Amino acid sequence: MPTLFLNGYKTTGFSFASLKRQVLLALKERGLRVHTSASNAGRGLFQTRNSPTLGPVSAQVTVVIFSDFTSSFGEMLAPSIRKLARTFQGKVRWVFKHFPESGNATAWFAAQASMAAHAQGKFWAYHDLLFANPNKLRRKDLERYAAKLGLDQKRFQQALEKKSYLALLQQDKKEGKQNAVIGAPTVFVNGQQLSSVNEKILERAIRQALKIQRGK
């Protein structure tokens, strides 16, 4: 039986999943946050630098969410994400990625507005307003939500006019496709794509990921 060493330490287990977890942990310890789909490993990286996040970088578990503000399933999942963020406060880092439906102008515009809010430190509050009002996503609605949160209206409107964040949305969409995302919402827990998602499934996946991390 072969003996493998990773960064000078003997590895445990020889399955692909076991070795993958150990490699990802080693990368994380060196400050590299790499997330790949288990079914599509190596095809894409999730860049988190410009993405809205919630929770500490040092968290043991990272949850990456690809969603669309016009998605009814995304709307149903949004409150659960906020609830679980409170439940696992300090233990989980949440990363929001945009996956607006192709050809859906409302979805793309709402996503741009959310990033304009993100630039002013109000992404998650704006996120909650958008998902709470799925039938009110016209420009006047988006501007009204910005005013409600006390955003700089001129700065907000300029970002929309200039399409300042469109390239970031396109990059998110590209990363999603590279990781076998075909619709919203799609969720990854420590790089593992969940085949389906609701509050119970997501909570169970997080607890399992925390258990794995504690055992290392």
Provide the 10 A C-beta neighbour count for residue 95.
Answer: 20
Query: Which tokens belong to 60?
Result: 């043991």
H-helix segments, the chain? 16-29, 72-87, 105-118, 123-132, 139-148, 153-162, 166-178, 199-214
Query: Is 95 strand, coil or helix?
Result: strand
Cα torsion 77, 78, 81, 86: sign: negative
Helices 153-162, 139-148: axis angle to 10 degrees equals 150
Q: With 0-12 CB in 10 A as exposed, 13-18 as middle and 19+ as buried, what is 189?
A: buried
CA distance 137 to 106: 7
Q: Which residue, 106, 107, 85, is CA-closest to 98?
A: 107
Helices 199-214, 72-87: axis angle to 10 degrees equals 40
List the domain boundaries for the chain. 1-32, 43-214
Beta bridge partners of 63: 94, 189
Question: Residues near 148 by Cβ (< 8 Å), separated by ≥ 6?
Answer: 129
Q: With 0-12 CB in 10 A as exposed, 13-18 as middle and 19+ as buried, what is 61?
A: buried
Beta bridge partners of 66: 97, 186
How would DSSP label each residue in 10-34? Answer: E----SHHHHHHHHHHHHHHTT---
Each residue's pLDDT expressed in tens, for the chain with a length of 216 residues: 456 666 666 655 444 444 555 565 566 555 444 444 333 333 235 888 899 999 999 999 999 999 999 999 999 999 999 999 999 999 999 999 999 999 999 999 999 999 999 999 999 999 999 999 999 999 999 999 999 999 999 999 999 999 999 999 999 999 999 999 999 999 999 999 998 999 999 999 999 999 998 886
Question: Residue 122's pLDDT is what?
Answer: 98
CATH class of segment(s) 43-214 = alpha beta
The Cα-based distances of 165 to 105, 117, 156 in angstroms read 14, 11, 11
